[in-house]
Structure 1
Amino acid sequence: MTVAALIVAAGRGSRAGEGLPKQYRPVGGLPVLARTLQAFRAHPDISRIVVVIHPDDAELYAAAVRRADAGSDASLLSVPGGETRQESVFRGLEALEAFAPASVLVHDAARPFADRALIDRAIAAARRTNAAVPGIPVTDTVKVVAPDGLVVSTPDRASLRAVQTPQAFSFPALLQAHRRAAAEGLRDFTDDGALAAWAGLPVHVFEGDPRNVKLTHGADFLDAERRLNEGTMTYLTRLGTGFDVHAFQDGDHVWLGGIRVPHDRGVLAHSDGDVILHALTDAILGALADGDIGTHFPPSDPQWRGASSDRFLAHAAGLVRQRGGIIDHLDATLLCERPRLGPHREAMRRRIADIAGLRLDQVSLKATTTEKLGFTGRGEGLAAQAAATIRLPETAP
């Protein structure tokens, strides 16, 4: 029974922050995709590999293939992906149809640690069933929560599994399921097991691997480096601080932490005047010893007039990653009498985490008044101070 692998590598990886798409970022000196390809090319039962890539990534893909020593591999094929993961997988399946494999393994490019034993289990599952997914037990208690934050129920975690890839299918059955979904205008399945279940296929679970992690956030790349270097690479911890202030003027809102907050005043600023994002940007740049926000985005340059400050923070976070580093933690304090931070705190934390490619628990926000003292106490403006903790490889320039 012939087995093909379909590697999904068309995403942008925005949660990993600014920079190269995560599947092309280096881990242990090799692009993530190169490591994923090496794992599947080394398996003797995989006869064909199709990689679905973003149309703009042809050069990045070619470089990754070279680094995987697969440049002359005739069994390796790339096809352009679609707008959604489901569309990308469908295009990959259609490209495989000419080879008529009996089974197909669908795998995320950003999971470079799939080993021989896991692939063995996936192939065995594909031969036993029409659809199977790897799963690992859930160790945390899981809550079902309503939109208003009220806990609805607590499922028994003994029956829960966190699902991974490679997911294993009968090739004809999965292709038919995708064709049905496309014909019915369904485009947003993010998991092929879920699509197979929608199509009426019984989906089984086989043993996954806790080490088969998906590289999603910046911290995941640091963990992967540690794993590959087995503790031989040393990192230097750096702390940077930032401060920003803006005066109030006429207006009906202020931007804080990437969120538009209704207010009876606006701020006088060249950009959108987001003091929290400006302070965080300077904190990261300070940890890098790479100037300040004015160095990178001069207020004299008209292109930054009214600019959204998320661009500044994303740029600073991207500079950390370009040097092989990782942002461990961001902490900011808003200083003002009004507006109040509390009602917007969690939305701001989520927005900052999204911009910088961090987990939510890596972002802290606080607020304080100045007890009616100074310009903030008199309601003339607002300010923010911030700190950023980063790690850089000891060999970083």
Structure 2
Amino acid sequence: MSDMTAGPAVAVLTAAGSGSRLGSEGPKALVDLCGETLLHRAARGLLAAGVIDHITITAPAAAVGRFTAEVCDLADAGRIGVVAGSPASRQASVALGLAAALQARPEAEVVLVHDAARALTPPDLTRRVVAAVRAGYHAVVPGLPVVDTVKEVAVGEVVAASTPGSSTGPEANRVELVVGTPDRARLRAVQTPQGFTRRTLEEAHRRGTLRAEDESLAARDDAALVEAMGGEVAVVAGDPLALKVTTPLDLALAEILARRERQQP
């Protein structure tokens, strides 16, 4: 273990999403999953790994109080804090959470970034990511092999005429042109938590500051910021349970998995 990663580990738990694609009336992180919100379950799972010293949650500005109350039973010894995220982008929210987490634990040398929407993430996955960072990798993401054939399409689109009498929206009638078929053996579906040395993540966000305020330019994950500055990103084995709850279908699947988890001895 290098001196750069010998200090405590902190986590930024991003939870400022609106939940519009899920169809929820409030913040997505407060959606119920078998009697427990996505937020509470995700925070509990991080702490259960036993390798995280502090969690900073990024919340919608208007819901900081609600989020704080939601995790108060987990926040012993100041291990959880809640700050307002940014409406501009996920990247901007993570930057705010990172600053708050390092203010709470100035001695931290390992930082994880996790999505509350991946509420079923097993503690073993968190331990695996932290262990890889402490082993000397400056940026680590969990990933799963891609099982579907993936097509690359041309920028732009061709929209087909609507089918008479069709009740489907414009997305169902869109036609795009294929320009290539990547070798799926080289592809990974990336998950969270993603882990970094403190110096790497701070520098990546510093260099990517100008992108953060424009959602169309902002990085989709923190590893992309490391890649953009020429850094190396390592992949460890992901877990199917770390699925992201984005749509009603995702939530239905997560509920099935959560019920099965409860039934296990």
Which bracket does the TM-score occupy, shorter chain normalised?
A: 0.7 to 0.9
| Aligned counterpart, 1:54 | 60
Percent identity, aligned pairs only? 39
* Pairs within 5 Å for 1:211-250: 211-230=241-260
Higher relative contact order (CA 8 A, sep 6+): 2
Segments of 4+ in structure 1 off by > 6 A? none
Q: Is the 8 A contact 1:143 1:151 kept in 2?
A: yes
TM-aligned CA deviation for residue 113 of structure 1? 1.2
- Structure showing greater radius of gyration is 1
TM-aligned CA deviation for residue 200 of structure 1? 1.7
| Aligned counterpart, 1:81 | 85
Runs of 5+ unmatched residues, structure 1: 234-397
Q: Is the 8 A contact 2:24 2:31 kept in 1?
A: no
| Aligned counterpart, 1:159 | 186
Change in 2 beyond 3 A, CA 1:232/1:85: closer
TM-aligned CA deviation for residue 230 of structure 1? 2.6
Query: 2-side partners of 1:172 and 1:219: how far apart?
Result: 38
Tell whether 2:198 aligns with 1:171: yes
TM-aligned CA deviation for residue 92 of structure 1? 1.2
1:198-233: CA deviation from partner (whole Å, max 9, x where unpaired): 022111111101111110001211112222223999
SS at 1:200 equivalent: coil
Runs of 5+ unmatched residues, structure 2: 1-5, 158-175, 213-217
SS at 1:155 equivalent: coil
Query: 2-side partners of 1:230 and 1:9: how far apart?
Result: 25
Query: 2-side partners of 1:44 and 1:166: how far apart?
Result: 14
Which residue among 62, 70, 76 is the counterpart of 2:74?
70
Letter in 2 for 1:45: V
Aligned-residue CA RMSD (Å) = 1.8
1:220-255: CA deviation from partner (whole Å, max 9, x where unpaired): 11112222223999xxxxxxxxxxxxxxxxxxxxxx
Query: 1-side partners of 2:101 and 2:230: how far apart?
Result: 22
TM-aligned CA deviation for residue 40 of structure 1? 1.2
Letter in 1 for 2:149: T
Q: Is the 8 A contact 1:102 1:170 kept in 2?
A: yes
| Aligned counterpart, 1:265 | none
1:362-383: CA deviation from partner (whole Å, max 9, x where unpaired): xxxxxxxxxxxxxxxxxxxxxx
| Aligned counterpart, 2:118 | 111
Q: Is the 8 A contact 1:24 1:60 kept in 2?
A: no
Q: Is the 8 A contact 1:3 1:103 kept in 2?
A: yes
Query: 2-side partners of 1:101 and 1:178: how far apart?
Result: 17
TM-aligned CA deviation for residue 18 of structure 1? 3.7
SS at 1:220 equivalent: helix
Query: 1-side partners of 2:255 and 2:102: how far apart?
Result: 37
Tell whether 2:203 aligns with 1:197: no
Query: 2-side partners of 1:81 and 1:3: how far apart?
Result: 21
Change in 2 beyond 3 A, CA 1:166/1:153: same
Tell whether 2:109 aligns with 1:102: yes
Give the count of matched residue pairs: 229
1:283-331: CA deviation from partner (whole Å, max 9, x where unpaired): xxxxxxxxxxxxxxxxxxxxxxxxxxxxxxxxxxxxxxxxxxxxxxxxx
Change in 2 beyond 3 A, CA 1:230/1:96: closer
Letter in 2 for 1:60: R
